[in-house]
Amino acid sequence: MKIKDFLLMILLLFSCHKKESSFYEIKSVNKDSSQIIWGNSIFKNSQNFENFVLDKDKIKTKWENENFIILQRGTGSEAWINLILPIKKNEKLFQTDQVLAFDSINNIIVRQNYNSEEYPFQLIKLNTFEKDSIRFKTKNCESVNIVNCIDKIDFNEKALIINWTTPNKFEKNGKTEIAVYSLEKLFKK
């Protein structure tokens, strides 16, 4: 086999496993609603939604991988809405709020849990919708909204890492702490 033929064969093999690029678009239906269309070159999903959520000028892509597109839309306050679009045929979008981080390897989001002061963060596996919550001591956060005390929140391959700060009105610099939560332990309850 000639080198030229060999290189052509390798090129063909790599082009067969080409990653599908995903997309979304928003189309107006009427004065009250719009349609969001998403998918890739193989399929398209669509769903109608109220115009407030699907405001083209206020919605943006926050995260994405080969399985999900996560859109974010501010509400004009410290809150925001997230639309999670599964890149799978005939799937519906999932709406939630306050998504703080996305683990693109394990398809897990962490969001603020308003319903519990003792467990203020909720993790959701997007493939199964399995949920777990994180116990977090908030007594040092002087803000009503715990998100204001988070310096950074992120995932590595096996853990959720929260860098949080406890600002103090009487000190120049607040105290910064790092909390690490094993994903394996969180979802084994």
Contact 67, 87 (CB under 8 A): yes
Q: Which amino acid is at 156?
A: N
Nearest to 68 by CA among 35, 108, 96, 33: 108
Q: Please list the pLDDT of the chain residue by residue as tens digits (189 residues).
A: 577 677 666 665 555 545 668 999 999 899 889 999 999 999 999 999 888 788 777 889 999 999 999 999 888 777 788 999 999 999 999 999 889 999 999 999 999 887 777 778 899 999 999 999 887 665 567 777 777 778 888 998 889 988 877 655 545 555 667 778 888 888 875
Contact 181, 101 (CB under 8 A): no
Q: What is the pLDDT of residue 16?
A: 53
| CA distances to 24, 48, 90, 91, 129 from 38, in Å | 4, 12, 11, 10, 20
Enter the pTM of the model.
0.79
Q: What is the pLDDT of residue 138?
A: 55
